[in-house]
Structure 1
Amino acid sequence: MTISITPAASQRMRQFLAQTPSARGVRFGVKRTGCSGFAYVVDLADELVADDQVLDIDGVQVVVDSKSLALVDGTVIDFQRQGLNASFVFHNPNATGECGCGESFTVG
């Protein structure tokens, strides 16, 4: 199981975690939604459950649920700013297609 985060994503995650010291880490996974099937979820992990995998990536605790593991394995998480917009960007080798808006993806 490998997930990577760029220095920009690591810095942004650390900012979120600093604002909520009670958080156990950053939760990363997927949910069924969108026009292509799956959408990424990035949130603070307030608690851990039995099937969570906790990865220490560059000192950031990244929490991934067991249902998302196979879908996000190998993903590189980046954080980009474009004008007034800023967001996490995902480079997922498992994605075989994305919707036009970039909000959801499919796997083969």
Structure 2
Amino acid sequence: MIVFTPEAKKEILRTFSSPGIPDGYALRVGMKGGACSGSYLLGLDKASVHDEVYEIEGVVVVIDRRHLMYVIGTKIDYTQTDAGAGFVIMKE
């Protein structure tokens, strides 16, 4: 469904081990916007009644049911460059 590179998984698990992250939070993967201007969304959130909850490679992931068809088959990477570091989400 969703694939994490080893770097992304390491960074996500490191984030969740931080003392500032409250219990019950998961990684939210979804979409923001729509049609041709849509972009991927990645963040920390609690599941709602509109979400599906999955455990993928040890990471609890929540996805709004309306976004499932858009995020299935995505790959999440974490990169570090001179310009900064961050997650990159791409369709496989």
Percent of paired sites with the same residue: 30
Supply the distance in 1 between the matched residues of 2:43 and 2:24 (Cα, whole angstroms): 10
| TM-score, reference length from structure 2 | 0.85
CA contact (8 A) 1:23 1:44 kept: no
Supply the distance in 1 between the matched residues of 2:90 and 2:41 (Cα, whole angstroms): 14
Tell me, what secondary structure is at the counterpart of 2:17? helix
Higher helix share: 2
User: Could you list the runs of 5+ residues in structure 2 that have no partner in the other structure?
Assistant: none
Tell me, what secondary structure is at the counterpart of 2:33? strand
| TM-score, reference length from structure 1 | 0.74
The equivalent residue for 2:39 is 39
Matches within 5 A, 1:1-108: 2-19=1-18, 20-32=21-33, 36-45=36-45, 47-93=46-92
Q: Following superposition, which runs of at least 4 residues in structure 1 exceed 6 angstroms of deviation?
A: none
